[in-house]
Structure 1
Amino acid sequence: MHQMSKEMQACIDECLRCYRTCLGMAMTHCLEQGGKHVEPGHFRLMMACAEICRTSAHFMLIGTPHHKHTCRECAEICEECARSCEQVGDMQECVDQCRRCAESCRRMAA
């Protein structure tokens, strides 16, 4: 297996936490709350965020240099998801995790 930096391992951990948080909040909190929590734009964004986080973690785990591209996109989508969750309200856990993941991914994309 390739040698992984502590920074990359930390980013993988953040991405996987964000994946679990977005998917979990969408499937439980948002579906249970209904209304603005399940508006198509917001809900699709949460699903996209979960998926790009999972993909970015996977790219880093397999050791491809293409992780820089997925991490750059992941940071962008995480920021957008955080803003959307903030607007919807009552989703601070998701907002915080998306921002942590975005910050970590920006470092890996550099």
Structure 2
Amino acid sequence: MLRFLNPSPESATARAVEACLRCYSTCMSAGLLPYRGVSEAWLDDELRQLLIVTAELCKVTAKYLRIGSREAIVLCDACAHVCEVCASACDARGDLSDCARDCRLCMVRSREAAQA
């Protein structure tokens, strides 16, 4: 049985969970735009894959942080790295500024949680 932690809203863990879930939502939405019939939302396969991988890693990281797993520190480091790569790719694309912003916030919050 998983036992979820209830960290204080001001804690590094809570801020990281919130940032990871926001990044998950933003990246997944951006990665799935071409499948929703948005004609101007063309994405190359590499960027679409990066967006979805980033989203999934953020979701898993948030889950491990919430259950208080020791492995969360390793996931936070990986999440921060992948979010940094994704933010740069979104900046290069030009029209994914929300995704780049949320990836950068997740990167910072994940690093803070890993050091807490």
| TM-score normalized by the length of structure 1 | 0.89
Aligned partner (choices 44, 48, 57) of residue 52 of structure 1: 57
Match for residue 105 of structure 1? 110
Aligned partner (choices 2, 26, 30) of residue 25 of structure 1: 30
Structure 1 portions without partners, runs of 5+: none
Distance apart, 1:7 and its partner CA? 1.4
Please state if 1:83 is matched with 2:88.
Answer: yes
* Kept in 1: contact 2:84–2:107 (CA 8 A): yes
Match of 1:42, SS state, is helix
* Kept in 1: contact 2:6–2:66 (CA 8 A): no
Structure 1 residue runs of 4+, over 3 Å off?
none
Match for residue 14 of structure 1? 19
- What whole-Å deviation, never above 9, does each CA across 1:58-92 have from its counterpart, x for those lacking one? 00111111100000000000000001111111111
Aligned CA-pair RMSD: 1.5
| Distance of 2:6 and 2:31 partners within structure 1 | 35
| Distance of 2:56 and 2:5 partners within structure 1 | 24
Distance apart, 1:34 and its partner CA? 4.4
| Distance of 1:94 and 1:74 partners within structure 2 | 14
Count residues in correspondence: 107
Q: After the TM superposition, which residues 26-41 of structure 1 pair with which residues of structure 2 at under 5 Å, given as runs?
A: 26-28=31-33, 30-31=34-35, 32=38, 33-35=40-42, 37=43, 39-41=44-46
* Kept in 1: contact 2:88–2:100 (CA 8 A): yes
Q: Identity across aligned pairs (percent)?
A: 29
Structure 2 portions without partners, runs of 5+: none
Q: Which protein shows a greater Rg?
A: 2
- Structure with the higher helix share, 1 or 2: 1
Please state if 1:62 is matched with 2:47.
Answer: no
